[in-house]
């Protein structure tokens, strides 16, 4: 991991931003998070829905604040905040007898989601400063349509030119579920988010548990050992930080040659785990790209989904060239 990070430089947040991220949780932040809760959502294992917190906020603000800060001091959330129910939803047109035909939906308790929402609200203003503009997923002020327009512009230019190029669409296999926590905490430290904020994230990920609901019956709880938690407001923001070191490694590796159009160098665009790579000279660029991804995968948990990844030739390049190692999709 150290070897990978020694080859890239990641930006860090300012001392003012770090101070905001690492401050004690206040009743005002809890109240704001309660107001932003969506009604009509299924509750977590404790059965308390969003409407309960909105109705009785005057009675629970102080106990919630004390409980959050007590959890921080003791490095662990109460048992109920670590639990989740997993409901299985059958995918349309899939065989109900196959486990892979079901989409698991994780239901967290609302008090746990309030804590995560507070941390996410603190973090979202800092993300645009430490995650570069070609990542548009879950970053405040950015829109995915910008990446779509960028791709269409590149395709149009290459259709009208004699240049050769290649676009790789990389899909990650169970991207959010495979994140290794040791890597997550290491990356957060590299971005300089501060000891208290990183400790909060570690508290959220200390012995999380889940149980599966099937036909009204709840299984025994089991521990979760990796992945960002589904249904957690903080998870998409953490995942953007997880992907940024890989994106930066691709940006700064000279052997991975992007597409130069005018004075703009196009090499990568991302929406969360969906990655587009623009490359020229694919015979050498693909080799370096695969090596970079494999090194990143060793410690991060990242894995390309070969069945959903594709390559598209541009310009005069009418087929994907043979490379060593070859593209695995």
Asked if the model's pLDDT at residue 323 lies above 80, the reply is no
**Residue 187, CA atoms < 13 Å, CB-side half-sphere:** 24
Q: Does residue 301 surpass a pLDDT of 80? A: yes
Is the model's pTM score more than 0.85? yes
Contact 247, 253 (CB under 8 A): no
Is-cis flag, bond preceding 13, omega within 30? no
Rounded to an integer, the average pLDDT of 246-266 is 95
pLDDT in tens, 195-233: 999 999 999 999 999 999 988 899 999 999 999 999 999
d(CA 183, CA 283): 31
């Amino acid at each position: 991991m150290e070897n990978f990070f020694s080859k890239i430089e990641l930006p860090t947040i300012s001392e003012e931003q770090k101070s905001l991220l690492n401050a004690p949780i206040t009743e005002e932040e809890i109240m704001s998070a309660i107001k932003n809760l969506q009604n009509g959502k299924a509750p977590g294992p404790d059965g308390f829905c969003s409407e309960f917190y909105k109705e009785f906020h005057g009675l629970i603000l102080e106990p919630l604040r004390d409980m959050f800060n007590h959890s921080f001091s003791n490095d662990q959330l109460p048992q109920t905040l670590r639990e989740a129910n997993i409901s299985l939803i059958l995918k349309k047109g899939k065989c109900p007898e196959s486990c892979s035909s079901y989409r698991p939906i994780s239901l967290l308790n609302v008090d746990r989601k309030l804590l995560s929402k507070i941390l996410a609200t603190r973090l979202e203003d800092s993300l645009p400063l430490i995650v570069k503009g070609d990542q548009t997923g879950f970053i405040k002020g950015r829109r995915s349509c910008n990446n779509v327009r960028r791709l269409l512009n590149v395709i149009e230019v290459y259709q009208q030119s004699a240049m050769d190029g290649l676009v790789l669409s990389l899909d990650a296999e169970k991207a959010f579920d495979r994140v290794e926590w040791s890597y997550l905490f290491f990356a957060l430290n590299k971005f300089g988010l501060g000891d208290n904020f990183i400790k909060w994230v570690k508290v959220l990920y200390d012995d999380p548990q889940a149980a599966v609901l099937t036909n009204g019956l709840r299984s025994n709880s089991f521990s979760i050992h990796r992945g960002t938690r589904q249904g957690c407001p903080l998870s998409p923001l953490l995942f953007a930080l997880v992907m940024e070191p890989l994106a930066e490694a691709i940006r700064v590796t000279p052997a991975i040659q992007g597409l130069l159009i005018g004075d703009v160098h196009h090499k990568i665009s991302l929406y969360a785990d969906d990655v587009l790579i623009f490359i020229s000279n694919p015979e050498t660029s693909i080799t370096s790209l695969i090596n970079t991804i494999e090194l990143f995968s060793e410690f991060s948990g990242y894995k390309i989904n070969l069945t959903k990844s594709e390559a598209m030739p541009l310009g005069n390049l009418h087929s994907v060239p043979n490379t060593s190692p070859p593209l695995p999709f």
